[in-house]
Amino acid sequence: MRKLLTLYLLLGAILAAQAQQTQKPVLHGKNWMAITGKPLAATAGAMTFQKGGNAVDAACAMLAATCTMWDVLSWGGETQALLYNPKTKKVIAINAMGVAPTGATPEFFKSKGYNFPPEYGPLAATTPGTPGGLLHMLANYGTLSLEEVLAPAMELAAGYPIEAQTANSIERGKERIKQWPYSKKVFLTHLGEEREAPEAGEIFVQQDLLQTLTKLVEAERAALKKGKSRKEAIMAAYDRFYKGDIAKEFVRGSKEQGGLITMKDLANWKPLEEEPLVVNYKGIDVYKLQQWTQGPSLLQALNILENFDLKSMGYNSSRYIHTVYQSMSLAFADRDFYYGDPYVAPQEPMKGLLSKDYARQRAALIHYEKNDAKIGPGDPYPFEGKKNPYLKLLKERGFEFDTTRRNFAPTHDLRNGSSMVEYQDRLWRGTTTIEAADKEGWVVSITPSGGWLPACIAGNTGIGMSQRMQSFVLDEQLNPFNVVEPGKRPRVTLTPSMALKDGKPFLSFAVQGGDTQEQNLLQFFLNVVEFGMNVQQAAEAANFNTNQLWLSLGGSKTEDRQPKPGHILLHDSTPEEVREQLKKMGYTLDFDDRTSGPINAIYFDWKHNSLWGGSSNHGEDYGIGW
């Protein structure tokens, strides 16, 4: 046993040493840091800082630019953000997730033969959240005018050299794009030719979107001329988008193509400021958005893992991988059944789910010898002093309650369903991330999304509509808190992160990648806190992904989204000894050369009063510091 422990520690040391070698250098800055998913968009952030803007201004400029460049999102999508306000020394949560429109009911979708709302097209769309989220953040916490912040995005809309990644994505999705007349007009610049999408490096022009952004700036200018304050002027642009001529054209274009969104839906929606959820892990306060995201699952996993000595196990040893995998499976089982929109009944049991006592109970379920293929949701209600009102529903769902283990275990095998290729594609579906910080102490972490390619554009607005409706369920047996309903937010995967230590910013981090987001963010955080990696090393380090969860995206059939217990994705470099140990524990192994992200992050070096930036080596992610 001692020899085995020594081997694990030696293996961990070797793997940690390998992780020190990074493909991209760590970023350093004294005054500011701007990181996002596209080089031109990071440049937009840098330009905004150079104008004298703060981190909120720069983050909004990067958000506008990434939407304009279709960095797996559009202006019609959704924005989720955490902000650290140095004046109040508080973390603020911004909920700019759109809601289900009028008529979006389980009966409506079932009448059309759906088991989940569709993946693509106008019926997949929630109300746009990103414009409102951007304008709210800028008006309340930024310093520059909307015109200054939108200037880079407007220049991009007027024409920029499109990258191969986006251009090829358009080409791959062109048959679907042809179904929607306004999308075809914007994206297929060579209609009728062999290649109908733009070529890499071609100047891609979006006149309709430019006109929409111009209208927002015009609304701000007009308000300022009338003597309105900076904030009032920015909110005048907000009103033009959600109640004025932009809204009318958006609704007209959506309805023409079969969508449900109404003028009333747009006018009634608004972004919300919230108290973030937080747990303390070994003296570090980790903040996430509320349970309308999957964010609390990372907090639950940290609570569970706090009961183990992870460092002694060694980085990515079989014991470490197994323990973290089990903790994630436990947290995701709760996510899949208990998370939903907190503004719509029933109320989620978050106090119980984030209880340290509940976490200890869940940690006790972990078998050291094998994977538990029958992990199900726990019962957090006793930790709130309540009785679980869903016992009958869980039984109907096919779970039996084990009184000795306090766990609902499935009574049937979940290993069937879609192929692993299809499952992994849906598991990894990504968006972009935005990280910004400045010397005044403002910090912003955003995971925006929605309106990705192939996108359905709403009329002549140039705005791609969200596809986030697919994250709802139609049957309460799957999740009674996340059943689609007009005016309700779906439980989304999007989940920026922030951590404070000794009351000061410690880490700001986010990642794209659907249901893998909390998995990769959890391991990134542990890489820094437990294994001493810097942010670039932690961003590139080999992670692993569990498939033992219900998919939040894609697949119109229930079996397409079912968990695949014991399936794990490992990095190609995983040593043979670790592979064999995991196989003996009952895991089914898959491999890839990229399992680390793409993660973007900022570390706050209070010893030297400087910023460290980590920018993923996974794709086009890029950071600039000064």
| Dihedral angle computed from the Cα positions of residues 312, 317, 321 and 323, in that order, rounded to the nearest 10 degrees | -30
Ranges in the chain, pLDDT < 50: 1-19, 427
Reference 365, options 321, 307, 315; nearest CA is 307
Q: Which domains does the chain have, with CATH numbers?
A: 290-423+547-592 (1.10.246.130)
Say how many Å lie between the first and final Cα of the chain, rounded. Answer: 50
The pTM (predicted TM-score) of the whole model is: 0.94
| DSSP state, residue 124 | G
Which residues is 59 bridged to in the sheet? none
| Rounded distance between C-alpha atoms, residue 94 and residue 33, angstroms | 21
Which pLDDT score, from 0 to 100, does residue 6 have?
A: 41
| Residues 602 and 612: beta-carbon distance below 8 Å | yes
Which pLDDT score, from 0 to 100, does residue 262 have?
A: 98
Residue-by-residue DSSP string for 381-431: GGGGT---TTHHHHHHHTEEEETTTTEEEESS----SS-HHHHHHHHH---
Reference 104, options 396, 430, 474; nearest CA is 474
Q: Which two tokens stand for residue 185?
A: 């007009």
Phi, psi values for residue 36, rounded to 5°: -160, -170
Residues 6 or more apart from 246 whose CB is under 8 A from it?
212, 215, 216, 240, 461
| Dihedral angle computed from the Cα positions of residues 257, 260, 263 and 267, in that order, rounded to the nearest 10 degrees | -130
H or E segment at 136?
A: helix 130-141
Which pLDDT score, from 0 to 100, does residue 407 have?
A: 76
* Total residues belonging to the chain: 626
Which residues is 161 bridged to in the sheet? 203
| 181 upstream amide cis, omega within 30 of 0 | no
Which pLDDT score, from 0 to 100, does residue 412 have?
A: 65
Which pLDDT score, from 0 to 100, does residue 10 have?
A: 42
CA distances from 134 to 88, 96, 234, 235, 609 (A): 21, 8, 10, 11, 29
**DSSP helix/strand/coil, 76:** strand
Q: What is the 3-state secondary structure (H, E, C) of 298-360?
A: HHHHHHHHCCCCHHHHCCCCHHHHHHHHHHHHHHHHHHHHHCCCCCCCCCCCHHHHCCHHHHH
| DSSP state, residue 378 | B
| Rounded distance between C-alpha atoms, residue 280 and residue 286, angstroms | 6
Which residues is 414 bridged to in the sheet? none
Which pLDDT score, from 0 to 100, does residue 418 have?
A: 54
Pairing of the two strands 79-85 and 32-36: unpaired
**DSSP helix/strand/coil, 590:** strand
Which pLDDT score, from 0 to 100, does residue 16 have?
A: 46
Q: In what order do the strands lie in the sheet with 588-592?
A: 545-546, 567-571, 588-592
What amino acid is encoded at 47 in this protein?
A: M
Which pLDDT tens digit goes with each residue over 98-155? 999 999 999 999 999 999 999 999 999 999 999 999 999 999 999 999 999 999 999 9
